[in-house]
Chain A
Amino acid sequence: MTEAISQSLPQPGGHPASLHLASLHDAATADLPVSSVSDWIALLKPRVVMLVAFTGWIGMLIAPGTLHPVLAATAILCITVAAGAAGAINMWYDRDIDLVMRRTRNRPIPAGRILPGEALGFGVFLAVASVLVMALATNLLAAAVLAASIGFYVFIYTMWLKRRTAQNIVIGGAAGAFPPVIGWVAVTGGLDTLPLLLFAIVFFWTPPHFWALSLWAHDDYARAGVPMLPVVAGARETRRQIIIYTIVLVAVSLAPWALGLAGPIYGAAALALGIGFLACSWRVLRDTQDASGVSQTNDAPARHAFKFSIAYLFMLFAAIAADRLVS
């Protein structure tokens, strides 16, 4: 900003004082961030939040018992806002690596539209508010699990694991697995086997989902120094891990049906979707690649698997809700 001010200062030589002050003001505001509402919404990672809100809602829907619609809507709002808050704090912490990654350099903080401190304040305020409102609207356990999910994402994943280990996504995936549990606890006030299985499904879904993305974005991660699996272990090993985790995911996804906690609608959907996901992962494994494992197809199978994985989770959770509503 000092440079901008000095650049636009009028040359010495007897200008009127008002002109001098006006240009000083203009120069001082020239470098201040000009954020719009959409920048603040972008700070909440709306696409990720949508999936989180959906799984949280399904957790509530399938839970035994009832919750007043106003309180249920409030609980979903709290889950949504908490996820957004965690995303905003993540963007504050990761602003240095976001700046060097092509995929993230236009985010509001690296692009200079929102100041880091503002983003942090925004995220912390929303996180605290969402937990308090959850406690008021539902119960203390739901609020505690919500707080734990924010803490896990911010401290365990973002600050501890992400820059240190190739297993960042595996362990950090737990953060995204909390919402169905929170939804369930908001209704029942306790835990059970089914929400824990839903937790496990999202937990095992996360690695193949993110590793598919990191296969074609690994240059970005390497430049930023983030030890994603393709950067550390190579693309070939990542493809192998994707199929292993997909096999585990499909087995876990069938558990609710096998244990009698979900009906045939869910069982059939889990099987069909699982076969689809396995086929995608198999194509990723068999992708045409050179000796070092670099894709010769611009990672087309990985891009397809990434898209399919999002649809997979949506449809699987929709299936369990449909199954519960029908039976």
Chain B
Amino acid sequence: MTPVPEPHTTLPPGTLPPGQRDEEAHRHRRGRNIAMLVVLVALAVLFFAITMVKMSKPDIGG
């Protein structure tokens, strides 16, 4: 039986093996997603606050 060669042995020196790289990419993507969630929630709160302040102005409410 012909031995199956390792598919990743030809990667340039210093490059992470694909498994580790996927793991790192996954970790970074998760971090970015969490940051995006925080930004979106913060924006929703900000727009709500701006609206409340603008609505409470006498020249708009009256």
Contact = CB atoms under 8 A, between A and B. Distances in A.
Partners in one complex: yes
Interface string A224-249: 00000000000000000000000000
Contacts of B21: 26, 29-30, 34
Interface in A2-24: 4, 7-11, 13-16, 19, 22-23
Interface residues of A, number: 31
B15 to A, nearest CB: 7
Contact of A29 (B7, B25, B35, B52): B25
A15 B4 contact: yes
Given A40-B32, A70-B49, A23 B8 contact: yes
Most chain-B CB neighbours within 10 Å: which of A9, A11, A26? Answer: A26
A10 B53 contact: no
Contacts of A30: 11, 15, 18, 21
Given A19-B4, A26-B8, A34-B24, A68 B32 contact: no
Contacts of B28: 34-37
B24 to A, nearest CB: 6
B44 interface: no
Nearest to A69: B53
A197 to B, nearest CB: 31
A70 B50 contact: yes
Nearest to B31: A37
A74 interface: yes
B14 to A, nearest CB: 12
A265 interface: no
A318 interface: no
A136 B35 CA distance: 24
Given A7-B10, A71-B53, A36 B31 contact: yes
B40 interface: no
A37 B31 CA distance: 7
Contacts of A29: 18, 21-22, 25
Contact of B50 (A7, A8, A22, A136): A136
A308 B50 CA distance: 38
A171 to B, nearest CB: 34
A137 B18 contact: no
Given A37-B31, A70-B53, A137-B50, A23 B25 contact: no
Contacts of B61: none
Given A8-B10, A8-B11, A11-B5, A68 B25 contact: no
Contacts of B53: 68, 70-71
Contact of B7 (A4, A23, A34, A74): A23
30 contacts: A7-B12, A8-B7, A8-B8, A8-B11, A9-B7, A11-B5, A13-B2, A23-B8, A26-B7, A26-B8, A26-B18, A26-B19, A26-B21, A26-B22, A29-B21, A29-B22, A29-B25, A30-B15, A34-B24, A34-B25, A35-B32, A36-B32, A37-B31, A40-B32, A70-B49, A70-B53, A71-B53, A74-B50, A77-B46, A133-B50
Interface of B: 2, 4-5, 7-8, 10-12, 15, 18-19, 21-22, 24-25, 28, 31-32, 35, 46, 49-50, 52-53
The 4 nearest A-B residue pairs measured at CB: A26-B18, A23-B7, A37-B35, A36-B28
Given A16-B4, A27-B18, A70-B49, 7 more contacts: A15-B4, A22-B7, A30-B18, A34-B25, A35-B28, A35-B32, A40-B32
